[in-house]
Amino acid sequence: MIAFAPHVTSEAADESSRQSYRNGTEALYSQFLDHLAKSDTANGASSDQEAKVLFAAMIGARLLAQAVGDAEWVRSLKSAVKAEAAQGAASLEVAPAPARTVR
């Protein structure tokens, strides 16, 4: 998503490229929210608002890393976002179903 952003914002990009980018990024965003919502319903985890903030933070951290490089503050920011994502992922894990005995 981030890799193609400069292309679609340039004057050289045509409307079909921009539309494809909009459709693709919106689909990715929707899939992310849907996945978390389904998991949250099962586990009583984070809110829709928190999922949106996490999505934006993941993109923002990556964009900053691309734009300013490997500065300490950027690494620290990326680490914080990764930790939050990992914490969310851990809360989404569901215990596996018990093994069935085949008779």
- DSSP, residue by residue, 20-61: HHHHHHHHHHHHHHHHHHHHHHHHT---HHHHHHHHHHHHHH
Residue (of 67, 29, 66) closest to 48 by Cα position: 29
pLDDT, tens digit (0-9, with 9 covering 90-100), for 39-84 = 766 555 568 888 899 999 999 999 999 889 989 999 999 999 999 8
Whether pTM > 0.75 for this model: the answer is no
Q: Which segment of 2-16, 45-59, 87-101 scores lowest on mean pLDDT?
A: 87-101
**Around Cβ 40, how many Cβ atoms within 10 Å?**
19
Q: How confident is the model at residue 103 (pLDDT cuts 50, 70, 90)?
A: very low
State how far the Cα of 39 lies from the Cα of 54, in Å rounded to an integer: 15
- Domain ranges (residues) in the chain: 5-91
